[in-house]
Structure 1
């Protein structure tokens, strides 16, 4: 099989994994982390999706250690409520990461780095990520339990892509020495209120009424 054919085959595998991730709940992973039903508070038309219409996410029922999966622009959006233990461990991972301070501005809006850069979020406990591996577009698995894993004996929780073994921490920051070149993306988003996240609209745009 030629190299182009291999690349096409791997990409097709990634797309199939991606479609699975966007239409089903990711299974329960780790102690204290459970899956909740796939939720879309607002289901825009196909035309609206193509135009990148925002999606409203109700997180009022999101408990600590849970993840919600939404869809925006055909991409799975993960909203995770992280535990205090996870937040406390994130700074210790910096030496193992390719871009611990998220210096590449194309990977997240600047406002998610204005607090503690380890969190990559507007609110420390709530993480919002695009759930697509930055290597070949596969769907990483959330492996949130803090315990030794076959792929990492010093695992502190995070995301593992089984396609080519790329790893990310619970802020979506990529480990050094794996195939994935970049951190997981953080989509534009803002809080309409304490229990509502609007995916696809920056805070500044929301204040001016722009979508």
Structure 2
């Protein structure tokens, strides 16, 4: 009979259907298990380190990542950008990075960067005036910023200006330099924002 339980075709169909339903169930059960290996949004907001691949970042380019809910700018500075740092120091409010809360000890230098690679600038992209996001303005002497502009960061909210090391100019609303977060080189091409020397060893 066609509907007999001993019908081989029907048995194969029921076995296949049961296997498919079981596979879907296993898939649904695996999703939360596998996602537990990823850092949660809460962990990232609390400061979980973030890796940035700088291997494909061309000279002059900037990339942005999120760390602790803040934008972090990573800039591959050119020779011209590095040379401009000395040229603007007489126009800056804190050229020596004397405000200790704005950077780790390793960044108290003209480049505000680790000695391993001073070309890469890593800064929190929030203006120290009211927290707007400064725009990256690498061009020299644009019409809207004047012939003395050597490149840097400009806050469109209230006009604060920062050089290519994130150091604040005098006479603008922002009181301090842009913040440099803790970071390490995990490898030649990877910067870990929020990482420590112990983790990179």
Band the TM-score falls in, shorter-chain normalisation: 0.7 to 0.9
Moved beyond 2 Å, runs of 4+ = 148-153, 205-208
SS in 2 for 1:95: helix
Q: Who is 2:155 aligned against?
A: 161
For the residue of structure 2 that corresponds to 1:85, the secondary structure is: helix
1:121 is matched with: 113
Q: Residue by residue, what CA displacement relative to the aligned partner does 1:126-146 show, whole Å, maximum 9, x if unpaired? A: 000000000000011111011
Task: Find the counterpart in structure 2 of residue 78 from structure 1.
Answer: 73
Deviation string, structure 1 residues 167-193 (Cα, Å, up to 9, x no partner): 000100000010000100000000011
Structure 1 regions of 5+ residues with no counterpart?
Answer: 1-42
Distance 1:107 1:201 in 2: 17
**Equivalent of 1:101 in 96, 100, 119:** 96
Give the structure 2 partner of residue 136 of structure 1.
Answer: 130
Aligned length: 162
Report if aligned partners of 1:70, 1:76 keep a CA contact under 8 Å in 2.
yes
Look up the match of 2:39. Answer: 44
Whether the aligned pair in 1 keeps the contact of 2:185 and 2:200 (CA below 8 Å) is no
TM-score (norm. length: structure 1): 0.73
TM-score, L = length of structure 2: 0.77
Highest Rg: 1 or 2? 2
**Contact 2:153/2:162, CA 8 A, preserved across alignment:** yes
Partner of 2:3: none
> Does residue 147 in structure 1 map to residue 141 in structure 2?
yes
**Alpha-carbon spacing, 1:196–1:81, altered in 2? closer, same or farther (3 Å):** same
Unaligned runs of 5+ in 2: 1-37
**Post-superposition shift, 1:150?**
2.3
Out of 56, 60, 65, the position equivalent to 2:51 is: 56
Query: CA offset at residue 52 of structure 1?
Result: 1.1
Alignment partner of 1:88 out of 83, 92, 100:
83
Residue 194 (structure 2) pairs with residue 200 (structure 1): yes
